[in-house]
């Protein structure tokens, strides 16, 4: 006998232990009168039991409990106010931006050395940097490498 198609999701939730009390009570009432769904539930429970991980040991438990503190320590954040997470994410983004600039820096330096910007004596260093960055962004960053590769 096949299970009712509209109950399959509930049966899976019940078998995995994630069904809430209200849906659970409704499903119990249905199971009392539906052999197909009872059979499907038994099959799902057997399948999940076969693939269930063993309960965590003392070492796993300790590692899981220590994880939030380790993450906060690694990101340099203090406390668990929620602000700490944002500071951590901000620091990570800042590090990524710094890394991107570090990657771009040698190329920016070579552009300035080969092609000095006209009238650069009147412009500020920020203008030079912005112009060089725009030039770099518009160029194909791999063009030189590809030319070398094809020769
Ligand atoms: Zn059913």
CA distance 10 to 16: 10
Per-residue pLDDT of 43-68, as tens digits, reads 999 999 888 888 888 888 888 888 88
In the structure encoding, which two tokens stand for residue 144, read together? 């030189």
Q: What is the model's pLDDT at position 11? A: 96
pTM to 2 decimals?
Answer: 0.39
More confident residue, 133 or 26: 26
Question: Residue 103: pLDDT above 90?
Answer: no
In the chain, domain spans:
5-51, 58-150
Q: What is the model's pLDDT at position 147? A: 63
Sign of CA dihedral 43, 46, 51, 52: positive
Rounded to whole angstroms, what are the CA distances from 109 to 120, 137, 139?
Answer: 15, 14, 15
Q: What is the model's pLDDT at position 55? A: 81
Ligand 1 center to 11 CA (angstroms): 9
Q: What is the model's pLDDT at position 128? A: 75
CA distance 77 to 70: 10
Ligand 1 center to 71 CA (angstroms): 46
Ligand 1 center to 46 CA (angstroms): 18
Per-residue pLDDT of 18-27, as tens digits, reads 999 999 999 9
Ligand 1 center to 8 CA (angstroms): 8
CA distance 42 to 22: 21
Ligand 1 center to 144 CA (angstroms): 66
Band (113; pLDDT cuts 50, 70, 90): low
Question: Residue 139: pLDDT above 90?
Answer: no
Ligand 1 center to 22 CA (angstroms): 17
């Amino acid at each position: 006998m096949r299970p009712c198609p509209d109950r399959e999701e509930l049966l899976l939730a019940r078998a995995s232990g994630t069904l809430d009390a209200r849906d659970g009570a409704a499903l119990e009432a249905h199971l009392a009168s539906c052999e197909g769904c009872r059979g499907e539930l038994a099959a799902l429970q057997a399948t999940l039991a076969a693939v269930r991980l063993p309960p965590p040991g003392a070492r796993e438990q300790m590692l899981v409990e220590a994880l939030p503190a380790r993450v906060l320590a690694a990101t340099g954040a203090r406390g668990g106010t929620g602000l700490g997470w944002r500071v951590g994410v901000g620091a990570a983004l800042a590090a990524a931006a710094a890394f991107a600039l570090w990657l771009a820096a040698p190329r920016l330096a070579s552009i300035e050395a080969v092609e000095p910007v006209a009238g650069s004596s009147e412009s500020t260093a920020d203008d030079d940097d912005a112009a060089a960055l725009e030039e770099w962004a518009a160029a194909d960053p791999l063009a030189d490498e590809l030319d070398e590769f094809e020769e």
